[in-house]
A and B are shown apart, each in its own frame.
Chain A
């Protein structure tokens, strides 16, 4: 692809890719990720804070795109389809936050790079009764150096395990925030996202 031609935003001001561009200036897009095991409340959380109904985008991963040897001439190559939910939130006319949910299954780790590249940070949603399901996400963000926080979903308002117990079981670094949250509550999800961003801010300042 000829993406070298695309204009990369160089500063706070937007630049236009072609001299004939319209006067319409899109907002600067920023991205956060909500991750975690299957059925843990990712889509609920996205829906709670998004200003639009969460959308689902499907990514067709061909074997070519997945990095397997060239099969582009093979007419019956397989394609795997992964569905990703996302929502967005206009913070001001120049800044728009996109919130993407990562596909739950570990075997689609290769999709995560697409979802998480350039993300400000990630919230890993945890059901404390099924802690192991969040391990792939925790491992991934630790490895990539993406700032993240753990959000323990309180199903029906009740935490099955205490936050210190969850922290201890996950064995995350002491500076990684572990908070309780309710995926259905917009306030709760927003506060948890702020926790992630403040953690990212601390890290960016070198603690």
Chain B
């Protein structure tokens, strides 16, 4: 933190790893805009491309990352999944998704923020996990 701009290529981190890079690269895509932490979309937010967006894919004026987001959101995708698949930083994707939503190219389904106090949801998740447990074999499918 004390030496901004000293991106360390020697620090090749893996899992749980940390590296310092210039902010210019990731946030160039957002023209330097960042999201307000309090209003940031939850990572499990579901995103779906609108029919207009899919129509615009035929045209050349949707470029690069925005096009890639629409392509990926042909089927419902979570914000975290979108960021991971496009190898973009989560907060960059948050800004781009906000833009596409404003242009009505992306439907944004924000999850209910019920957490661990929603009895119905808790029961459904427990039942869902149990059903996999009894029907599935060892390992994942």
By a beta-carbon cutoff of 8 Å, the part of chain A in contact with chain B is 1-10, 12, 14-18, 20-22, 24-31, 38, 43, 47-51, 55-62, 64-65, 67, 72, 75-86, 88-89, 91-92, 95-98, 100, 103-105, 108, 113-115, 117-121, 146-147, 185-187, 190-191, 193-194, 197-198, 200-201, 203-205
Contact = CB atoms under 8 A, between A and B. Distances in A.
B69 interface: no
A8 B124 CA distance: 20
Interface residues of B, number: 86
Contact of A8 (B110, B131, B139): B110
A117 B42 contact: yes
Contacts of B87: 58
Contacts, number: 266
Interface in B99-125: 101-102, 104, 107-125
B140 A50 contact: yes
Given A30-B111, A81-B89, A97-B128, 8 more contacts: A1-B94, A48-B140, A79-B27, A80-B20, A81-B19, A118-B42, A191-B133, A197-B129
B78 A98 contact: yes
Contact of A21 (B32, B44, B107): B107
A6 B35 contact: no
A168 to B, nearest CB: 26
B63 interface: no
B90 A58 contact: yes
Contact of A9 (B47, B75, B110, B119): B110
Question: DSSP majority for the B interface?
Answer: mixed
A110 to B, nearest CB: 8
A4 to B, nearest CB: 8
A184 B24 CA distance: 39
Interface in B30-63: 32, 34-37, 39-52
A200 B116 contact: yes
Nearest to B116: A200
B116 A186 contact: no
A127 to B, nearest CB: 14
Contact of A22 (B16, B49, B141): B49
B48 A26 contact: yes
12 contacts: A9-B112, A10-B112, A18-B50, A24-B76, A30-B121, A55-B85, A56-B15, A59-B90, A60-B91, A77-B4, A95-B125, A118-B42
